[in-house]
Amino acid sequence: MARKLRFLKEQMSKAEISTSPTQLNETHLEFDDLEIKLGELEAELTEVNANNEKLQRTYNELLEYNTVLQKAGEFFYLAQRSAAAQQREIEANQSGQTSLESPLLEQEMSMDPSKQVKLGSLSGLVPKEKAMAFERILFRATRGNIFLRQEPIDEPVTDPVSGEKVAKNAFVIFYSGERAKAKILKICDAFNANRYPFPEDVTKQLHAVQEVSGRISELKATIDMGLAHRDSTLKSIASDFEQWNHLAKREKAIYHTLNMLSVDVTKKCLVAEGWSPVFASVQIQDALQRATLDSKSQVGSIFQVLNTKESPPTYFQTNKFTSAFQEIVDAYGVAKYQEANPGVFTIVTFPFLFAVMFGDWGHGICLLLATLYLIIREKKLASQKLGDIMEMMFGGRYVIIMMAVFSIYTGLIYNEFFSVPFELFGKSAYACRDPSCRDATTEGLVKVRGTYPFGVDPVWHGSRSELPFLNSLKMKMSILLGVAQMNLGILMSYFNAKFFRNSLNVWYQFIPQLIFLNSLFGYLSLLIIIKWCTGSKADLYHVMIYMFLSPTDELGENQLFSGQKTVQLVLLLLALVSVPWMLIPKPILLKKQHEQRHQGHQYTMLQDTDESVGAELGEHHDESHDHEEFEFSEVFVHQLIHTIEFVLGAVSNTASYLRLWALSLAHSELSTVFYDKVLLLAWGMNNVIFLIIGIIVFVCATIGVLLVMETLSAFLHALRLHWVEFQNKFYEGDGYKFAPFSFTLIREEED
């Protein structure tokens, strides 16, 4: 049935008839009746197509024949005129005297008709591209004993065999003898030259032309009627096609699912094993009862929960808001059954990290307005076919709106509106000490009031110390955010280990990892906060480098608090201890657990025993055999790789979070360049044309570079920070999705 429906779809596409997008309702047509109907329609259309093909071929042949009659008629007419003129010339010159120029046999041939040779003729059409080769082969095959006349046809004709438009030449061949005719016929076949009979008599020629013209008009009318009948049939099919197609796909999906069922030992019922959410058990039982009643079955369906050691699929209930965030996580890997889901944290952390790189509340508002349009019109847009890029944007509209809201927030902190600062939350804390100072520099500025209440003071923008100040702020902030998120990831590994009752992972993975990360980078974060609070001028680079190179040296002016040297020595010692703590104990303890588990647990099969007991013992024996395969070297190498990866990753991942600072700086500087070097430059020229051009360039640059390319760039970097720096601390992602049978999903796949 699917094949027949595909055939009908192809026929409608050829006839340029589109299926009507009607609302799918429950069809009243029985499935068996639909099968019969589709068979009848296929047979009818096949017959119509076959007849139409034959008629079309005959029609094309007649068109070619008509062309040959016209062209060959012209050849013969011109030849007869030329012969008559020659005859008159010969008769006029017959004065009893022969000149040197007159042919030797002229008098003999004209006087003796029995010696004149009767020539045969063939006419037809040959493809224009083969015309020269056709003429050359004919000349060689007959050794020049032919006369060939060709004439190109003005417009391409439809070839009866291929049905394609082909440029052709009309030809007439005059030959002598049957052997020459046989050769010519073979060459015509080889060159796909279509031959048509041409009567020599003028009366017969006129009669043939009239007859062919009449048949062409009759065939044209017949073909048009056949096509009209076919189109009306296809239009009637088009109105119900989507419904039939959907019904066939549903039945096919049902049969595909039924094929997964196994037959019971009694061969009287089917057994289905599958997964279902616990909360859906009652709904499944109700559905089975309704099915039993509707089908009037005498035997009811049995629903029983099975205990299995197989890992169940993972199913997270999402809505239109959370589904896109869950897709971001699932693109990395589907969570193992009952593993902690990073998607919950991603709802907040993903748009926030994006906004740290994209902080500008002007750009954030533009992004918000564009996304609000998608959300307001989501019902209409959901039912339409969108392009690939638009489809992705529409699917992630709630992710984008969160990104826009957070961008407005971080933009207010950075105090940037298309790179322009505003005094939104009060006046700047700084003012000119005397009238000589200018706004473009911080020299001569003194603090005259309290600190700017929210975000960056607007006076920093445009000052000479803007970049050093903002770079220092954003770089340190990036490290703080990175260390906080990595700590969250390590903390999640504790909850995973606790839930799965894996005490080894708690004591020999979670604790040493937490100690190592915070001994180094947690300590760095603490130093950053202390430096901010105290206003110290200590060089944190120097502190961290010499913490490793010369831990016993005095800190001098880089000391931020009393006892710092002792604290650093303790933290360095803890970091060094945590590495072997992660590496050595876990493989040894795993080996010990394995030996204890299988000590004295070897079974041998009894000779005479019940089948079910034997099978159970056999299963147990197989399981114990599987567990015996414990390679200490493999476990140790795996743990070694994991330890090295974490130790090196702690450094590289922290450095990776500096992308927050780098992209934020790039976004801010690009925005400043477009504002200063395009908009303000055009404004300063005092020319309306230059101003309009400047505004157009500024708008295009803002949309194309800052709102499209920068958005995509920040999105991808935020994605990397979540997948690599955050999720690799706790997320295995080696599960598989729960894929229930659903007619809705079949419909979506169809679309």
What distances in angstroms separate CA 412 from CA 121, 360, 423, 532, 542, one per listed residue? 95, 7, 10, 20, 33
CA gap 21, 543 in Å, rounded: 70
Q: Looking at residue 418, what is its pLDDT?
A: 92
Angle between helices 564-583 and 540-549 (to 10 degrees): 60
Q: Looking at residue 750, what is its pLDDT?
A: 58
Q: How confident is the model at residue 269 (pLDDT cuts 50, 70, 90)?
A: confident
Q: Looking at residue 655, what is its pLDDT?
A: 95
Please enumerate in sequence order all residues whose Cβ is within 8 A of that of 603, keeping only pairs 6 or more positions apart, or say none: 617, 620, 621, 624
Q: Per residue in 386-433, pLDDT tens?
A: 888 898 999 999 999 999 999 999 999 999 999 999 989 888 888 876
7-17 mean pLDDT: 89
Q: Kindly state the percentage of the chain with pLDDT values over 90.
A: 47
Q: Per residue in 574-616, pLDDT tens?
A: 999 999 999 999 999 999 988 888 775 555 555 444 444 333 3
Q: Looking at residue 619, what is its pLDDT?
A: 41
Higher pLDDT: 617 or 61? It is 61
Computed over every residue of the chain, the mean pLDDT equals: 86
Residue 625 has pLDDT above 70, yes or no: no
Q: How confident is the model at residue 323 (pLDDT cuts 50, 70, 90)?
A: very high
Of the candidates 146, 132, 129, 128, the residue with the CA atom closest to the CA atom of residue 185: 146
Residue 373 has pLDDT above 70, yes or no: yes
Helices (H), 259-360: 281-294, 323-332, 343-357
Report phi then psi at 262, rounded to 5.
-110, 150
> Which range has the worst mean pLDDT, 128-142, 203-217, 535-549?
203-217
Q: Per residue in 227-250, pLDDT tens?
A: 898 899 998 888 888 888 888 888
271-290 mean pLDDT: 92
Contacts 24+ apart (CB under 8 A), 694-701: 698/674, 701/674
Residue 297 has pLDDT above 80, yes or no: yes
The tokens describing 423, both together, are 């005094």
Higher pLDDT: 445 or 418? It is 418
Angle between helices 466-499 and 343-357 (to 10 degrees): 170
CA gap 74, 668 in Å, rounded: 82
What distances in angstroms separate CA 266 from CA 270, 300, 348, 379, one per listed residue? 10, 16, 56, 51
Angle between helices 323-332 and 343-357 (to 10 degrees): 90
Q: Looking at residue 620, what is its pLDDT?
A: 42
Residue 381 has pLDDT above 60, yes or no: yes
Q: Looking at residue 518, what is its pLDDT?
A: 96
One-letter amino acid identity for 535? G
Higher pLDDT: 169 or 716? It is 716
CA gap 519, 490 in Å, rounded: 14
Whether 628 and 598 have beta carbons less than 8 Å apart is answered as yes
Higher pLDDT: 206 or 201? It is 206
Whether 741 and 257 have beta carbons less than 8 Å apart is answered as yes
What pTM was computed for the model?
0.75
CA gap 210, 208 in Å, rounded: 5
Q: Per residue in 629-688, pLDDT tens?
A: 678 899 999 999 999 999 999 999 999 999 999 999 999 999 999 999 999 998 888 889
Q: Looking at residue 69, what is its pLDDT?
A: 83
Q: Looking at residue 240, what is its pLDDT?
A: 87
One-letter amino acid identity for 683? W
Q: How confident is the model at residue 444 (pLDDT cuts 50, 70, 90)?
A: low
Q: Looking at residue 397, what is its pLDDT?
A: 95
Q: Looking at residue 527, what is its pLDDT?
A: 95
CA gap 348, 24 in Å, rounded: 39
Q: Looking at residue 29, what is its pLDDT?
A: 73
Report phi then psi at 464, rounded to 5.
-70, -25
Q: Looking at residue 624, what is its pLDDT?
A: 42
The tokens describing 727, both together, are 């999720």
Q: Looking at residue 611, what is its pLDDT?
A: 41
363-386 mean pLDDT: 92
Residue 306 has pLDDT above 70, yes or no: yes
Residue 316 has pLDDT above 90, yes or no: yes
342-350 mean pLDDT: 96
Q: What is the DSSP letter of 521?
A: I
Q: What is the largest CA-CA distance in the chain?
A: 146
Q: Looking at residue 464, what is its pLDDT?
A: 81
Q: How confident is the model at residue 72 (pLDDT cuts 50, 70, 90)?
A: confident
Of the candidates 657, 637, 652, the residue with the CA atom closest to the CA atom of residue 718: 657
What distances in angstroms separate CA 612 from CA 63, 288, 460, 616, 702, one per listed residue? 83, 31, 82, 6, 74
293-301 mean pLDDT: 86
Question: Where do we find the tokens 């991808």?
Answer: 716
Residue 749 has pLDDT above 90, yes or no: no
CA gap 121, 147 in Å, rounded: 9
